[in-house]
Amino acid sequence: MPGEAESDNQLNGHESASTRQTGIMATNSEAPMPVGNDSGDGRPTPRPARRTGPRGWAAAPLRWPAPTASAAVHARVRVPGSKSMTARALLLAAVSVGPSTLQHPSESRDSVVLARGLRTMGCHVSSVDDEQWLLRPRPLAGPAHVDVERSGTAMRFLPPVAGFADGPVSFDGAEVLRGAALRPQLDAMRELGIRVETGTGGLPLTVSGIGRVPGGDVVLDASGSSQMVSGLLLAGPDFDHGLVVRHDGAPLPVAPHIELTVAMLRAAGAGIDDTTPNVWEVEPGRLFGRAWTIEPDLVAAAPFLAAALVTGGQVTVPGWPTRTGAPGAPLLDLLTEFGAHCVRSPEGLTVRGGGVLHGVDADVCRLGELLPVLAVLAALADGPSYLRGVARTPGAPDLVSGLAAALGTLGGMVTEVADGVRITPRPLSGGGFDTRRDHRLAHAGAVLGLAVPGVVLSDVSCTAKSLPDFPGMWRRMLGTPA
């Protein structure tokens, strides 16, 4: 199952309805993803952008009283596949020759939006069963319309691939993405021979493909989002003359994600050289379909592991990789500094809380996505903490201000400094926790609620971006009814 949690006191083996509603139909090997009516030639019929929620996601804001732990948590939590790995495997499969399979893919909203976008352009994407997706690449063609909803990943990964389509492919998404950093990537695509039309420098935009992309050398400032580099690299092997990308600007945010892109390109058989800092060279050459085994999402696992520390309990995550290039890899070292005892075994990863949380002084530049959860651990610690290296996290200013406001409302003290935050533990009380519709803040609010009664999240539906059934998994971990 894509995501499940079992308490030692109450085992729940039933798949929740939320998991079934992520957009993948798990019926038979050729069951299509429901992205709209198909035309007579089997290609999806283009349709206008869909708006099913106030900001592009299907779900409206949903207030949620965070459960308080009545005892130490003892649970086994199976988290879904990595969202980052799933996205890259989908794009590589789309530019390969022959079918590819994704074992244990993420069914996060981002992943579903990406898969639907590829299918809209002509790829066959279906679910073999609950644990496997099948992608059969086909010649891409327009006209087609792709709604990226609120997915910045889809917004940056799909347009370069649309350059291979024979015909126009238009893109649009939620209002929140209209001002997102995209112009440097679009300018680079034009230099590579892709025709792009946009009136604003971002969404909405149209890529008018001619079935091939010349490729070449480009220089861009990707400091706004490292996904601009990854989006180009993933399409690069299929460019006529390959690709050289040079980053010229401030240090890249979330460099570990580019490292993951490079590692997966190599695993797919691409020739890529990243020995020169901020330069990536991809050789032209066909990739062939393969089987991808998607690792557990280390980021999605973080709030559940944090629950073990907050309650002095124990949480086991099956299938934790012994070696990984995923961005969440340094997490265990930091949890140990907070006071956890982490053990890897054939069964997976087990994290035990020591009963007392300790303050830390840590560089979290490779763990920026986990800043809110880490900050909550710091707010519950026995001494002050300093979390450094935050500036490279996507949306860092908004994330830090949201974190400071949410914890401050409940009595916490978060001080913003040049490249991080200082957290001074104080007595906390219940109240509203504004998630700003950010799944990272929602995860943090849930962790805080374990120790502080009366915490009410302003919205929990945003967690579907990474975990389609987060509320259900959280309650099953605690052994409480939904």
Domain membership of residue 24 (yes or no) is no
Domain membership of residue 68 (yes or no) is yes
- CA-CA distance, 454 to 150, in Å (whole number)? 30
Asked whether the predicted pLDDT for residue 58 surpasses 60, the reply is no
Of 474, 84, 469, which is closest to residue 315 (Cα–Cα)? 474
> In the listed set 293, 308, 342, which residue is the last one of a domain according to the structure?
293
Q: Give the least confident one: 22-26, 74-78, 443-447.
A: 22-26
Instruction: Write the CB contacts of 90 (distance below 8 Å, at least 6 apart in sequence).
Output: 102, 111, 114, 115, 118, 125, 135
State CA 449 to chain mean position distance: 24
Q: Quick one: 184 and 278 in the same domain? A: yes
**Section 384-412 average pLDDT:** 87
Asked whether the predicted pLDDT for residue 37 surpasses 70, the reply is no
Q: How far apart are the first and last CA of the chain?
A: 18
**Residue, of 253 and 362, whose pLDDT is higher:** 362
Q: Quick one: 361 and 473 in the same domain? A: yes
Q: What is the pLDDT of residues 318-367, one digit of tens each?
A: 988 877 656 556 889 999 999 999 998 888 899 999 889 999 999 998 88
Of 180, 224, 142, which is closest to residue 56 (Cα–Cα)? 180
Q: Quick one: 285 and 309 in the same domain? A: no
State CA 13 to chain mean position distance: 26
- CA-CA distance, 20 to 418, in Å (whole number)? 43
Q: How confident is the model at residue 299 (pLDDT cuts 50, 70, 90)?
A: confident
Strand partners, 217: 244
Domain membership of residue 245 (yes or no) is yes
Q: How confident is the model at residue 256 (pLDDT cuts 50, 70, 90)?
A: confident
User: Domains in the chain: how many in total?
Assistant: 2
- 179, HSE (Cβ side, Cα atoms, 13 Å): 2
Domain membership of residue 305 (yes or no) is yes
- CA-CA distance, 117 to 109, in Å (whole number)? 12
- CA-CA distance, 83 to 106, in Å (whole number)? 5
Domain membership of residue 28 (yes or no) is no
- CA-CA distance, 210 to 243, in Å (whole number)? 18
- CA-CA distance, 349 to 330, in Å (whole number)? 14
- Give the CATH number for residue 189: 3.65.10.10
Q: What is the pLDDT of residue 328?
A: 57
Q: Quick one: 307 and 403 in the same domain? A: yes
Q: Quick one: 139 and 230 in the same domain? A: yes
Domain membership of residue 173 (yes or no) is yes
Of 247, 325, 254, 252, which is closest to residue 281 (Cα–Cα)? 247
Q: What is the pLDDT of residue 339?
A: 97
Average pLDDT, the chain: 86
| Residue 244 Cα distances to 7, 99, 174, 252, 268, angstroms | 50, 27, 31, 17, 18
Asked whether the predicted pLDDT for residue 166 surpasses 70, the reply is yes
Strand partners, 196: 207
> In the listed set 293, 310, 339, which residue is the last one of a domain according to the structure?
293
Domain membership of residue 142 (yes or no) is yes
Which active-site residues does the annotation give?
369
Asked whether the predicted pLDDT for residue 21 surpasses 80, the reply is no
Q: What is the pLDDT of residue 396?
A: 73
Percent of the chain with pLDDT over 90: 68
Across 34-120, the runs of DSSP E, i.e. the strands, are: 64-65, 74-78, 96-97, 100-103
- 252, HSE (Cβ side, Cα atoms, 13 Å): 22
**Section 205-216 average pLDDT:** 97
Q: What is the pLDDT of residues 77-95, one digit of tens each?
A: 999 899 999 999 999 999 9
Q: Quick one: 143 and 63 in the same domain? A: no
Asked whether the predicted pLDDT for residue 67 surpasses 90, the reply is yes
- CA-CA distance, 144 to 210, in Å (whole number)? 14
**Section 181-202 average pLDDT:** 95
Domain membership of residue 37 (yes or no) is no
Domain limits at 100?
83-293
Q: What is the pLDDT of residue 59?
A: 60
Q: How confident is the model at residue 207 (pLDDT cuts 50, 70, 90)?
A: very high
> In the listed set 293, 320, 352, which residue is the last one of a domain according to the structure?
293
Q: Quick one: 108 and 242 in the same domain? A: yes
**Section 403-422 average pLDDT:** 93
Q: Quick one: 272 and 349 in the same domain? A: no
| Residue 167 Cα distances to 139, 158, 213, 285, angstroms | 11, 15, 13, 23
Q: Quick one: 263 and 307 in the same domain? A: no
Q: Quick one: 8 and 144 in the same domain? A: no
CB 457 within 8 A of CB 81: no
Q: Quick one: 63 and 97 in the same domain? A: no
Q: Quick one: 146 and 226 in the same domain? A: yes
pTM above 0.75, yes or no: yes
Residue 143, preceding bond cis, omega within 30 degrees?
yes
